[in-house]
Chains A and B, each alone.
Chain A
Amino acid sequence: SSELTQPPSVSVSPGQTATITCSRDGLGTFDVSWYQQKPGQSPVLVIYQDNRRPSGIPERFSGSNSGNTATLTISGTQALDEADYYCQAWDSTVVFGGGTKLTVL
């Protein structure tokens, strides 16, 4: 089983805010990254070092990390944001969360 715990699925209405969590004891002491993966495509980095956005990633994507939980927030969610999202941290090895399927209804 994954050492980073994510909810299997999250649903959101278009234009609303989607929140995806990633949990592990003491996660706030690690740098967390988030990846978006659409069907048939390679993962895309959307957040790194807890809250930094790579160039080309829309401002509606943001991240935070404190205590035992990291959070990916998508504000004003669009249909094109529907995808699987994975959190990731480094703890002597790369660890991925199990993934969350975001559905935009």
Chain B
Amino acid sequence: QVHLQESGPGLVKPSETLSLTCAVSGFSIGSGYYWAWIRQPPGKGLEWIANVHHSGSTYYNPSLKSRVTISVDTSKNQFSLNLSSVTAADTALYYCARQEGVEYIRHWGRGTLVTVSS
């Protein structure tokens, strides 16, 4: 069974970079699939951020692309998200997930809350 666990700071200052890591167990990232980040502001809907394939191929949400970097580390079986120049609008529950191809998301982490505040 695939298990995904997000980790990273729960509080980030405005204008700084938000950095999160997703540790994957029960499946080798190098075996395939796309690995994604999705966020959900408190009380609001889901917003897809980006995904990365083990080969390094990436897709980004156009509205966030200029601030987002996603990467994969197959040796550690984890992938990461960097979101630069954060503002209060980036406060959200951040989920990591496994995408089946590019179509749908079958496996989700539990999410980690990141608050942007000074």
Spell out A's residues near B (CB within 8 Å).
Answer: 2, 31, 33, 35, 37, 42-45, 48-49, 54, 86, 88, 90, 92-99
Contact = CB atoms under 8 A, between A and B. Distances in A.
Interface of B: 36, 38, 45-48, 51, 59-62, 95, 99-100, 102-106, 108-111
A86 B38 CA distance: 13
Given A42-B95, A92-B59, A94-B36, A99 B46 contact: yes
Q: Is the interface of A mostly helix, strand, loop or mixed?
A: strand
Q: Is the interface of B mostly helix, strand, loop or mixed?
A: strand
B106 A54 contact: yes
Nearest to B60: A93
Contacts, number: 60
A74 B77 CA distance: 38
A45 B106 contact: yes
A90 B36 CA distance: 13
B65 to A, nearest CB: 9
A93 B103 contact: no
Given A42-B109, A42-B111, A93-B61, A48 B100 contact: yes
